[in-house]
Amino acid sequence: MKKILYSIALTTILWSCGGGGDNPPAPTNKAPATPTLTYPTNNLLCINNQLDFQYSSTDPDGDAITYQIQIATDNTFTNIVQTQTATTTSKTITLDKGIAYYWRVKATDSKNASSSYSSIFNFYTEGDGITNYIPFAPELVSPALNAAVTTTTATLQWNGSDADTSDTLTYDVYFDTVNPPTTKVSADQTPSSYTTATLSATTTYYWKVVVKDNQGGQTIGQIWNFKTD
């Protein structure tokens, strides 16, 4: 009988010490904040081809952060020329001269949680004897890529920029139901928007913009698309 009472008492002690209770859930790890880009600034005409890239992020849990820096020759990052990692908020990278580059940064903490990519900045590395820089590739504003448009017309909008800030930019707009679009619907326009004619239902439309400066330079943009209901 004493053995039975001893066993019951021991079980009670173990239970009261937490042996039979639920463990508290582990805290959820939070991803770092989307990085902020500091240098090179957007649309910068650089003085050389060796640059100190600067950026920053914070982690809500205080975890250590590793940064991934991507540099491409197009603003969709299909032609990535450099992918670098760093544990500090700056990285020195040497690039080719006389080229337009686009860069972005992603932050990952020590528990492998990642932020979204930062906004995209563009810049030129200065080349020997260059007197004119071609415009940067146009940036899509609206409609969003692969968007569904419910209106009978669509206003195509984009942003254009040039390292030569004194240059005047004009645009050729191509709009079609075939990919790539071949129908030029507007030539040498100065506004960075174009309103289409009446759209057909349940149709995919493709469009692109060619950016030209007044020095004879031009850049052909990527092909965008949207659908109608």
- In the chain the first and final C-alpha atoms are separated, in Å, by 82
Confidence of residue 82 (pLDDT cuts 50, 70, 90): very high
Same domain for 73 and 100, yes or no, is yes
The pLDDT-based confidence of 24 (bands split at 50, 70, 90) is confident
The range of the structural domain enclosing residue 115 comes to: 36-124
One domain for residues 40 and 120: yes
Query: DSSP string of 62-111?
Result: ---EEEEEEEESSTTSSSEEEEEEESSSEEEEE--SS-EEEEEEEEEETT
Report the mean per-residue pLDDT for the chain.
89
Q: How many helices (H) and strands (E) does the chain have?
A: 1, 17
81, 96, 124 - which closes a domain? 124
Note whether 107 and 146 are same-domain residues. no
Q: How many other C-beta atoms lie within 10 A of the C-beta of residue 116?
A: 13
Q: Which of 73, 95, 124 is the last residue of a domain?
A: 124
pLDDT of residue 8: 47
Same domain, 172 and 107: no
**C-alpha–C-alpha distance, residues 45 and 83, integer Å:** 21
- Burial, 108: exposed, middle or buried (Cβ in 10 Å; 0-12, 13-18, 19+)? buried
How many of the other CB atoms lie within 10 Å of CB of 86? 17
Residue-wise pLDDT tens digits, 152-197: 999 999 999 998 888 999 999 999 999 999 999 999 999 999 999 9
Q: For residues 140 and 144, what is the distance between their CA atoms, to the nearest angstrom?
A: 7
